[in-house]
A and B are shown apart, each in its own frame.
Chain A
């Protein structure tokens, strides 16, 4: 090999550096009508480098197989067959022949990237494949492993851009396994390709830096694989690779805290919808800890004095509130899933099931421990403990009794307060209400675990208290959908309270006679529920107040259920006056009839409301008898 200090070599290095400069910086200032000017210039330089390299070292007497004669393999069938051979066959990386191949390969790589950047994909592909071919001659080692990874990353991007996701997957997965094998078998800090073309004295000082570049390239491999799996619909693997990407960013200290934290919090949302609460909690705890690294929220006074502080304040507050909202969902889903697990067919706590699950708990705990050990954990040395201590504050196993449920609830409620501090009603209506709805759902899930009916009723009362004023204040013109949700939830909550009151009253007074106070209370809850169901139904009407002839798919079930409930509620109202009774029964009948008739006229409807339809049909048959009996009794009394 020619001397490192020879003039020719220096000229090659200069050209290469110049090409890099043109590609990375000059190209940003290229005019719109000549967008690739600098890149084309860089390309020419790289070609010169390539030619000089070949003539420069042609004297070494080695057979020359790079560059031009590359047509042996059709470009449409790129195969990456060298993963297995990469460590066993070919020149060793530090031999002259190995170095020469790597250098030529690197120039091919940069030419490839250059062509891809200028939207000449086929030529780019050709160059990248030439690089692959040069590398085929070498064993992977610290001198060239970086190039091994980079070229595969680029080919992955290229093929993904052509919608050939599987091909892309092949290249990226091979990059992944080369990295892993290299780290296992060698692990020395590798040389970066840019350093092939620098003068020797700089090499060592950059070791630390090039190691980082190498690791970063692998982080990108992870990130690209995440996208490839996502595009292939393999969400679980995609999530794992997102997780790895995050973990590597953290480990290598290549992240901005707030952005990282938000990403981790978002990833938790994937895990919790898949029922993987341990991973979800881990992501959230890491998000909380890492977001703390972004520093204190600037005070209001500081924010008023400087624009940057005020922007920082806004950013930090918002992102932390977002993370809090992710925590709320964690607590809520955990409670709701536990509830689903424990409830019997009428929605009450199934104590047999509870005992059974409690017995199985110990084993589960052991499994959790084991799972923790095998799972991908976040954290650098200094954050690891803090993450673990945040995790300890809330369980990730299903709560099985009221005490456990309560601790989960309280954590969730705490985050509700935090989130509401930023997402205030004034300015963030939609967000604020979503948080309130979650709060209400937290209460609802907790109420399931509460055995004392009186206290359960109070929990529902809390829900009504938080939702009712908002439902009435909102302008339907802009928030119709939200208002409908709120109306429905309020109606159901009142309904639930009414049921509870009735059970309580029946329990206290063994006989059927309820005292006047209870009746009053019962009727109040009953009509409040009916009122909100009716309000919901009215909101579907045209401006002239006519109910729609055809119910849209998304309101079909809610609307029919609301009708059905209005009917039931009216038949439940207690009154001693026969005319009032008659009126209520007529209202009930009218609504039952509506359900039946609507289902007759619309063939798509019955499937949506099977049980309700069955009961309604029955009631349409029975109620007239009851009404007639009442009528005749009234006639007799007169």
Chain B
């Protein structure tokens, strides 16, 4: 029975398996070890080392995608609803999790130039901006993007051009907005092109910082954050702002998780002894862990930054990626188990309405202020014009509201400036041609006119600047059909809609199938009224068989884990023996045929002190007085 609040929902977990690579195919005829039932959302994992009699492991997820699945399918079925929620003001997170080389980055980014192979991120960009372009004209949108990576517990801003030189950013908390990254760059994006550009800049910054890209990306987490703010007049006539935040997270390779620590990082490696004294603090913290004490200990940065996504106010989709090759069995199993656990995390997503930190509100205020300033200027110049023309010109009361009028006013103002210029020019000519005036006087009049011209130009420049600022500001606020236009035609739109409907249908079908399976099981248990003893025996035998199979499964599971350990030990021993034999052989050759080398004397003087992490010179001249000085550094 579902006893949870309606407001909570679990993390959606989908699993994707990449095809066998050519190299893996040539490795052996064994084929893949991962089978998928797309209809039921099940992954069946075969242990390549186990006898065929051993039951295979089955995991059920919200959706599964096999090697033939298209990027588009995954997006439409599993991601689209999440992005829709973000556009409606929810927080959303998409994680990609899996061993390095299983296609995390392909899933998240894909091939940008091939529309068929675009990954989650470009599709999400397209989705967001298309949605905005089709929105009602009373909605105003503001889209911002940030891009950061967490490498060795340090946060780096990928959009800051100097990010390589500066210290890592810090996590801070504010009473109103929770955890945030201090001084993180955030770029306002007005179109798909712009947000793609932001992504590119970040990707390049990420590559530049790393000497070995593969190594680097397998150890660092990349987070692309998009904030979509939307303002819309509510029934009360006031404008309400909803803020959706989307976190797109490419996690470090799962094989490094133990080292980089995403799994709540207290997941200890059972009994391993930490060799370095610098970890003494961890040992003590583990002892002091108690409710009534203070343990100076910080959660990992990633955990703190994404705390809302795992058990908080967010909707979360996790895409676990698998490799099908037999040699990846262990990693694949680990990934599946982790993904299986993630299904149980409950979130409580809520719409973010009128948060105090909405940038949109500030922008709207700034725009209103600029507009008022502009209007004030125009009004003044118009007054002057009236004076000059001596014309009685009727003025509307509420000119400042209507945009059409604004343009007119703008034109008028320009015209006025032109006229004025012409007038002054003419006057100048008149003065120059006037032969009755004294040269001195002429000069003076001309100078005055010149000054007036200058003033006029200055005023005009200021107005232009103001207008430019105003326009730049306003262009950042996106309004469907006005400054962001949808280019797809009706047919395409229909096609899209149908596709979404189909995806929705598939999703629901799968849910129902899974539900049915569970109910089937329950039904067996519930059928407890038996008409005859015979029937009861039958039913119970059936139940027993089922439970027995389950028991076997669990037993196999336990044995598996045990075997895993033993096997790896045996394997290592075997390799070791082989290597030793080989080495003995080489050792013999060396001993008998190669004379001892001459050594570099300075090299001999160098000593490395592992505890200090520092190079030391052995003293050249043995000097008793020097000794204490050297040891002072220990």
Chain A residues near B (Cβ < 8 Å)? 11, 14-15, 17-18, 20-21, 24-25, 32, 43-44, 47-48, 51, 115, 119-123, 156-157, 160-161, 163, 165, 168, 201-202, 204-205, 208-209, 212, 216, 219-220, 223-224, 226-228, 230-231, 235, 238-239, 242, 245-246, 249, 252-254, 259, 262-263, 265-267, 269-270, 272-273, 307, 311, 319, 322, 325-326, 328-329, 332-333, 336, 425-430, 434, 470, 473-475, 477-479, 542-543, 548-550
Contact = CB atoms under 8 A, between A and B. Distances in A.
A142 B296 CA distance: 41
A139 to B, nearest CB: 29
Contacts of A238: 283, 287
B288 A24 contact: no
Contacts of A473: 175-176
A572 B576 CA distance: 80
Interface stretch (B409-417, B457-465, B599-607): B599-607
Given A48-B590, A319-B296, A470-B175, 15 more contacts: A14-B604, A21-B606, A21-B608, A32-B212, A47-B587, A48-B591, A201-B622, A231-B270, A239-B284, A263-B281, A270-B287, A332-B292, A473-B175, A475-B356, A477-B178
B272 A208 contact: no
Interface in B268-283: 270-275, 277-278, 280-281, 283
A426 B293 contact: no
B457 to A, nearest CB: 43
B417 to A, nearest CB: 48
A325 to B, nearest CB: 5
A550 B273 contact: no
B630 interface: yes
Given A44-B587, A212-B634, A542-B6, A163 B352 contact: no
A270 B272 contact: no
A542 B270 CA distance: 40
Given A44-B583, A161-B271, A226 B174 contact: no
Given A44-B583, A226-B283, A326-B294, A231 B271 contact: yes
Contacts of B285: 266
Contacts of B292: 272-273, 329, 332-333, 336
Contacts of B631: 208-209, 212
B215 interface: yes
Interface string B277-316: 1101101111110101111100000000000100001000
B288 A267 contact: yes
B3 A205 contact: no
Given A220-B277, A428-B172, A478-B177, A165 B271 contact: yes
Contact of A269 (B3, B294, B610): B294
Interface residues of B, number: 77
B368 to A, nearest CB: 26
Contact of A227 (B5, B274, B576): B274
B215 A32 contact: yes
Given A44-B590, A230-B287, A477-B352, A322 B172 contact: no
Given A15-B596, A426-B174, A44 B281 contact: no
Interface in B336-380: 350, 352, 355-356
Contacts of A224: 273
B592 to A, nearest CB: 11
Contacts, number: 211
25 contacts: A24-B608, A25-B606, A25-B608, A48-B591, A121-B572, A122-B573, A122-B576, A160-B271, A163-B270, A201-B622, A202-B618, A216-B611, A235-B287, A263-B281, A265-B296, A266-B285, A269-B294, A326-B293, A329-B292, A336-B292, A426-B174, A427-B174, A477-B350, A477-B355, A542-B6
Interface string B182-193: 100000000000
Contacts of B277: 219-220, 223, 245, 249
A543 B271 contact: no
Contacts of A263: 280-281, 284
Given A25-B606, A230-B287, A311-B167, A273 B580 contact: no
Contacts of B295: 266, 269
Interface string B605-634: 011101100010011001110011011001
Given A14-B604, A201-B622, A329-B292, A259 B273 contact: no
B628 A430 contact: no
Nearest to A272: B293
B281 A204 contact: no
B579 interface: yes
Nearest to B618: A202
Interface string B564-599: 000001001101100110010011001100001001
A325 B293 CA distance: 9
B176 A14 contact: no
B173 interface: yes
A158 B520 CA distance: 50
B492 interface: no
A208 B627 contact: yes
Nearest to A121: B572
B253 to A, nearest CB: 13
Given A24-B608, A51-B591, A209-B630, A322 B296 contact: yes
Contacts of B619: 205
A354 B81 CA distance: 66
B288 A14 contact: no
A477 B313 CA distance: 7
Contact of B572 (A119, A208, A425, A550): A119
A387 to B, nearest CB: 18
A209 B174 contact: no
Contacts of B352: 477
Given A47-B587, A48-B590, A425-B175, A17 B599 contact: yes
Contacts of B599: 14, 17-18
Given A426-B174, A427-B172, A325 B296 contact: yes
A432 to B, nearest CB: 9
B7 interface: yes
A205 B622 contact: yes
Among A48, A51, A270, A434, which residue has the most Cβ atoms of chain B within 10 A? A270
Contact of B7 (A20, A44, A542): A542
7 nearest A-B pairs in the assembled complex, by CB-CB distance: A478-B178, A269-B293, A205-B622, A269-B288, A429-B173, A24-B608, A322-B296
Contacts of B333: none
A48 B624 CA distance: 34
Given A267-B288, A328-B294, A477-B350, A242 B174 contact: no
A18 B172 CA distance: 49
Interface string B3-26: 111110000000000000000000
Contacts of A223: 277, 280, 283
A266 B284 contact: yes
Contacts of B484: none
B286 A230 contact: yes
Nearest to B586: A44
A17 B212 contact: no
A186 to B, nearest CB: 22
A428 B174 CA distance: 7
Contact of B287 (A242, A328, A333, A548): A242
B179 interface: yes
Contact of B622 (A204, A220, A326, A434): A204
Contacts of B591: 48, 51
Nearest to A122: B573
B572 A48 contact: no
Contacts of A267: 284, 287-288
Contacts of B590: 44, 48
A306 to B, nearest CB: 12
Contacts of A227: 273-274, 283
A98 B293 CA distance: 53
Contacts of B4: 550
Contacts of A319: 296
B273 A157 contact: yes
Contact of A325 (B294, B575, B579, B618): B294
